[in-house]
Amino acid sequence: MRIGILEGEGFSARARDMLAGIGEVESFGKAVPLADFLADKEILFVRLARMIDAAFLDFAPRLRIVCSPTTGHNHLDEAALADRGIGLISLRGEQAFLERIRATPEHTLGLILALLRNYRIAFLDLNNPHWDRDRCRGEELFGMRVGIIGLGRVGRIVADYLLAFGARVAYTDPRPEATHADCVRCDSLVGLLRASTLVVMCASYEQGAPPLLDAGLVGLLEGKYFVNTARGELVDEAALLELARCNKLKGLATDVIANETGRNRLNDWLMAAQGRNIIVTPHVGGATWTSMAATEEFVVEKLLQQLGMERK
């Protein structure tokens, strides 16, 4: 069995050893054309760097299974995979396992603190030598009204972190079972946005769904802090950029942008960040050695179980 790892740098050595037990494992390198690499692969491990769509799959005629150690699927054309009879193994729905994967909640908290304490200008170096504490004066989480959009795994963990700081946390989530004893449920996004000083996007995204925050709701972020470590497609990006350019936000941090693997507005975000309390990180929420190794190994274990079932 021919197994390919599309983004092999830092891939778990244990996971690779497990894969070696069922076939020949090869990592993609730039010295080999992508089409040549994919031509004989039956199983492919992917991360987030490429869109796995029909055009990509045309190069992989023997592909049987795509493995993606992610909860989000917006880098995967699930219809194209289904049309070709290609199976998909991911982390979606693996709640028990994901409880111990904390990279994204921790990054979310880091971005929140960075915004409130103006870390972009407070971290000094030769290009920013200004020893001036007053220009870095910020705000505290203690007592702040924080609204979380989406109380799934990440949202609930972020809520716990914020509560430990003494923040007053509210949330919205369409699922009645999504509850938190120490947080206040808001019945509407409008109510949550109006009542919050800091808004944190933690919702899940379904491919093709409209933004949760349309242009009208984005307008309610004026004068507030906003953090998004979920998906860029959850927000009307053009409206959010306009709000940022007009200096109508207290601060904004985003680890995600819309259409990350295709034509996107990254340059617009980088320009908007100049001279403003805006932080853009390259979807690093889940990118820790610990979490990535654990998720890769878990997905390999799922693959082995599936292959074992197929042999029966």
The model's pLDDT over 149-207, given as tens digits with 9 standing for 90+, comes to 999 999 999 999 999 999 999 999 999 999 999 999 999 999 999 999 999 999 999 88
pLDDT tens digit sequence for 108-128: 999 999 999 999 999 999 999
By CB atoms closer than 10 A (0-12, 13-18, 19+), residue 49 is exposed
- CA dihedral of residues 300, 289, 102, 255 (deg, nearest 10): -110
Q: What stretch of H or E contains 155?
A: helix 153-164
Are 303 and 67 within 8 A, CB to CB? yes
Domain with CATH 3.40.50.720 in the chain: 2-94+288-311, 102-280
pLDDT tens digit sequence for 47-84: 999 999 999 999 999 999 999 999 989 899 999 999 99
Q: In what order do the strands lie in the sheet with 43-45?
A: 24-27, 2-5, 43-45, 65-67, 87-89
Phi-psi bin for 193: left (phi > 0), alpha (psi -120 to 50), beta? Answer: alpha
Under CATH, to which class is 102-280 assigned? Answer: alpha beta
270 closest CA partner among 262, 278, 259? 278
CATH code: domain 2-94+288-311 is 3.40.50.720
Say how far apart CA 95 and CA 303 lie, in whole Å: 17
Please state the pTM of the whole predicted model: 0.93
